[in-house]
Amino acid sequence: MGPDFSPDQGPLFLKRQMKRALNKASTILDKICQVLCILSLVVLIATTNIAVFFRYVLHSPLTWSNELATYLLFSFTFWGATMGLLHDKFFAVDTIVELLPKRIKLSISVISKILISIFLLFAIMFTRPLIEQATLTKTLSPALRIPMRLIYLFLMTGLLFMFFGNIFSLLNSLISLFVTGDKNSKSKNREKKK
């Protein structure tokens, strides 16, 4: 059976349910990004070490290692940025904002997240022509000979992950800002039942 619900605890119940669903989706996205970050970093370190070994020990530098390292750093950045957006852990100068009341801080947070979402949507839209152009011209990356449409598709995927991470964070802020509930509603409910 579902939880007991009364009209008195409506906003608080709704807030809990929305927060629970949002936290579940955020946790899944966060875990995916953590795994991708770790994989990117491990392969980046391995590639760099192999490149150094080939260059300085075997005196035969690899032509593809620099390009692969660039793509891996690029991917690591997107997955890390997604986690930063999910957890509101980006560097910010918030000295003045911290002095403001809680609701104003939340309002500023919501506005900044909306602006970030708009920027990410524009960035996602502008990667589409890159993908189409690379598909038409069949452009390949210089050293690895990977179709550039895959690189641009990867760019779009990273931006989409960031967008969804930001949306989850924005929804969490909106719930905190607009859905209010009385902390004592459970005790009031019990008193009414007696």
Report d(CA 114, CA 133) in Å as an integer: 30
Q: What's the pTM value of the predicted model, to 2 decimals?
A: 0.81
In sequence order, the β-bridge partners of residue 140 are 147
Helix (H, G, I), strand (E, B) or coil at 5: coil
Decide: residue 83, CB within 10 A, 0-12 exposed, 13-18 middle, 19+ buried. buried
Give the tens place of pLDDT for each residue, 63-89: 999 999 999 999 999 999 999 999 888
Give 55's DSSP letter: I
Give the domain extent around 135. Answer: 10-179
Percent of all residues in the chain with a pLDDT value above 70, rounded to a whole number: 86
Mean pLDDT, rounded, for 109-138: 94
Cα dihedral 18, 21, 23, 24 in deg (nearest 10): 180
Mean residue pLDDT of the chain comes to 86
- Domain count for the chain: 1
